[in-house]
Amino acid sequence: MPGVAPRVRFAPSPTGYLHVGGARTALFNWLYARRHGGTFILRIEDTDVERSSADMVTGILDGLRWLGLDWDEGPGVGGPRGPYFQSERLDRYRDAAARLVTDGHAYYCYCAPERLRDEREKAEARGEAWQYDRACLALPPERIAELEAAGAPRAIRFKVPAAETAFEDAVHGRIAFDTRSIEDFVLLRSDEHPTYHLSVVVDDIEMGITHVVRGDDHISNTPKHVLLFEALGAPAPSFAHVPLILGGDKKRLSKRHGATSVTEYRRQGYLPEAMVNFLALLGWSPGGDRELMSIPELVASFSLDGISGGNAVFNTEKLDWMNGQYIARLPVAELAAAVAPFFAEAGVKAPVSDPSFLRLLDLLRPRAKRLTDVVELARPFLAETVEYEPAAVEKHLTAPGLALHVTALAAALRATDPFDEAHVEAAVRGTATERGIKAGALIHATRVAVTGRTASPGIFEVLVLLGRETSVARLERLVGFLAALRSAPPSQ
Ligand code: GLU
């Protein structure tokens, strides 16, 4: 439909959390809408009352909001084609089913589920597939009258026309199918609940959807939908079926591969901008080898043609790398805001708006892949007392005479003025030379003294950041620790 602004939708069933696959489908729809000045609609497919829950809806909305995928019509924002919860649209599905019966595209089916099950089982025992045998299509009017008079439960089945038909898929090209392999599927169950096929098509028509972008797992449903659009007298939208997301072992992504819920990634310390960038490249490419793309860049280059037909592999290492890149580039005040909840969660007090904290973040962030890493890296800087890691003690604190060297360094640092990187470095190197030891040995011990660890950002920067008083106090505390270590019985 050239010239018409697209209307696309994300239509999750709230029977589970927002899976990364669902988030990627939502993102592709959102990018398409934003690229073409279209409308992104969020529709909650909650007709399965038993399996849907309000909590799941909340989780899905929160996940979309966190990713920044705002919807133009849907829960919370409303819109001219609502309601946007299918559970509030049941009358429309019933009306559409009744209309299809009136128009001869559908018929009532009174078959008992037991009979259908028996027939299916018998066919399967013979190694055959079974399709509904259209028993109710052949019922004489008197029999129908009898069944109606007796109040027999009835479903509505679609009368699948015998025809070759096809649809054009933006990802897979033309997909042709023979309708003889499609049985007369149920549209409305005997309890008057619609099946997915009916509700999705009725809503796509009523909501004016121009493009259906959804997972490959729906490809087999699309022929049924195409037939239903025709029967309801509406043009079918364009379709784009997006390839599945696989784990590293090329099997469909599942919990076995690690986190699959968007909320879980948020909890693990990924930035939404990194997650969006990563998800966008799962099955889509702007061409070339561009990897880091901001949201406006993604919007500007997104097209359905760029979606590949092959399955996409979810590579956590790449996600970590990308997240590290975003952590490194975020304006530091924004990073402080992003890490604040992680510090709170870990129970580490952080002066998030203090300039010294921002300097600390700048120092640490090149080493962080996740926001949780930032907390761990910052912990020794913010804690009252440093905890010495056993491995660090073992590796760097056993040299004889170390306490005296460290005492000398504490004295040298006390006299270092100005307390900047160049002077601190000169003090450390000078002390090592005076005491006839390698600078490395003194640096390692100093690192343990001030951070408790074997690795940290550049030690001179670290000392300057901590300031003279704290650095000296930590060195002196190490001297005490070393004395205690010497007098303690050796460990086995
Ligand atoms: N509610 C369906 C699902 O969650 C999606 C339907 C569609 O996109 O057509 O799989």
Rounded Cα–Cα distance for residues 59 and 263 (Å): 8
Mean pLDDT of the chain: 94
The per-residue pLDDT for 213 is: 98
pLDDT digits (tens, 9 = 90+) for 293-352: 999 999 999 999 999 988 899 999 999 999 999 999 999 999 999 999 999 999 999 998
CA 264 to ligand 1 centroid distance, Å: 22
204-215: burial string, b at 16+ Cβ within 10 Å, e else = bbebbbbbbbbb
Full strand arrangement of the beta sheet holding 238-242: 39-42, 7-10, 211-215, 238-242, 164-169, 173-178
Rounded Cα–Cα distance for residues 359 and 342 (Å): 18
pTM summary value: 0.91
Q: Which two tokens stand for residue 201?
A: 């098509």
CA 211 to ligand 1 centroid distance, Å: 13
Pocket of ligand 1 contains residue 87 by CB under 6 Å: no
Q: Which two tokens stand for residue 242?
A: 């997006």
The CA dihedral of 125, 126, 128, 129, to the nearest 10 degrees, is -30
Question: What integer is the mean pLDDT of 53-57?
Answer: 94
C-beta separation of 250 from 312 below 8 A: no
Of 167, 281, 314, 142, the closest CA to residue 228 belongs to: 167
The per-residue pLDDT for 257 is: 84
Of 211, 447, 464, the closest CA to residue 356 belongs to: 464
Position 492 confidence tier, pLDDT thresholds 50, 70, 90: very low
The per-residue pLDDT for 4 is: 82
| Interstrand relation of 155-158 and 186-188 (parallel, antiparallel or unpaired) | antiparallel
Relative to the CA of 214, which ligand 1 atom is closest? 8
Q: Which two tokens stand for residue 319?
A: 């996600």
Pocket of ligand 1 contains residue 13 by CB under 6 Å: yes
CA 84 to ligand 1 centroid distance, Å: 14
Of 437, 428, 470, 432, the closest CA to residue 451 belongs to: 470
Nearest CA to ligand 1 atom 6: 11
The per-residue pLDDT for 2 is: 55
Rounded Cα–Cα distance for residues 480 and 485 (Å): 9
C-beta separation of 308 from 318 below 8 A: no
pLDDT digits (tens, 9 = 90+) for 143-175: 999 999 999 999 999 999 998 889 999 999 999
Relative to the CA of 221, which ligand 1 atom is closest? 9
384-397: burial string, b at 16+ Cβ within 10 Å, e else = eebebeeebbeebb
The CA dihedral of 475, 480, 486, 491, to the nearest 10 degrees, is -90
Of 407, 417, 374, 166, the closest CA to residue 270 belongs to: 374
- DSSP for 265-295, written as a single string: HHHTT--HHHHHHHHHTSSB--STT-----H
Position 430 confidence tier, pLDDT thresholds 50, 70, 90: very high
CA 281 to ligand 1 centroid distance, Å: 21
Q: 432: Cβ–Cβ under 8 A, 6 or more apart, which residues? A: 405, 438, 439, 441, 442
**Residue 239: which H helix or E strand, with range?**
strand 238-242
Rounded Cα–Cα distance for residues 365 and 356 (Å): 14
CA 286 to ligand 1 centroid distance, Å: 26
Pocket of ligand 1 contains residue 214 by CB under 6 Å: yes
Position 232 confidence tier, pLDDT thresholds 50, 70, 90: very high
Rounded Cα–Cα distance for residues 178 and 181 (Å): 6
pLDDT digits (tens, 9 = 90+) for 254-291: 888 878 899 999 999 999 999 999 999 999 999 888 89
Question: What integer is the mean pLDDT of 200-208?
Answer: 98
Helix (H, G, I), strand (E, B) or coil at 83: coil
C-beta separation of 247 from 256 below 8 A: yes
Pocket test for ligand 1, best of 56, 214, 241 (most atoms within 8 A of CB): 214
Give the rounded percent of residues in the chain with a pLDDT score beyond 90: 87
Pocket of ligand 1 contains residue 225 by CB under 6 Å: no
Residue found by looking up tokens 């343990």 in the block: 448
Pocket of ligand 1 contains residue 216 by CB under 6 Å: no
C-beta separation of 37 from 79 below 8 A: no
The per-residue pLDDT for 165 is: 87
Pocket of ligand 1 contains residue 477 by CB under 6 Å: no
Pocket of ligand 1 contains residue 11 by CB under 6 Å: yes
CA 290 to ligand 1 centroid distance, Å: 30
The per-residue pLDDT for 416 is: 97
Rounded Cα–Cα distance for residues 238 and 443 (Å): 65
Full strand arrangement of the beta sheet holding 106-109: 106-109, 155-158, 186-188
Determine the length of the chain.
492
Q: Would you say residue 5 has pLDDT above 90?
A: yes
The per-residue pLDDT for 259 is: 80
Q: Which two tokens stand for residue 300?
A: 């500007």
Pocket of ligand 1 contains residue 197 by CB under 6 Å: no
Q: Provide the total of helices (H) and of strands (E) in the chain, helices listed first.
A: 20, 11
CA 196 to ligand 1 centroid distance, Å: 8
Pocket of ligand 1 contains residue 365 by CB under 6 Å: no
Relative to the CA of 215, which ligand 1 atom is closest? 8
CA 11 to ligand 1 centroid distance, Å: 5
**Residue 10: which H helix or E strand, with range?**
strand 7-10
Pocket test for ligand 1, best of 218, 226, 245 (most atoms within 8 A of CB): 218
The per-residue pLDDT for 3 is: 67
CA 218 to ligand 1 centroid distance, Å: 8
pLDDT digits (tens, 9 = 90+) for 360-373: 999 999 999 999 99
Pocket test for ligand 1, best of 86, 196, 216 (most atoms within 8 A of CB): 196
Question: What integer is the mean pLDDT of 244-249?
Answer: 91
Residue found by looking up tokens 């089945």 in the block: 157
Relative to the CA of 22, which ligand 1 atom is closest? 4
C-beta separation of 120 from 78 below 8 A: no
The per-residue pLDDT for 490 is: 55
Pocket test for ligand 1, best of 13, 48, 64 (most atoms within 8 A of CB): 13
The CA-based angle 153-222-69, given to 5 degrees, is 105
Rounded Cα–Cα distance for residues 459 and 381 (Å): 12
Q: Which residues are catalytic?
A: 255
The per-residue pLDDT for 383 is: 85
Segment among 3-7, 55-59, 367-371 with least mean pLDDT: 3-7
454-474: burial string, b at 16+ Cβ within 10 Å, e else = eebbebbbbbbbbebeebbbb
pLDDT digits (tens, 9 = 90+) for 74-103: 999 999 999 999 999 999 999 999 999 999
Pocket of ligand 1 contains residue 194 by CB under 6 Å: no
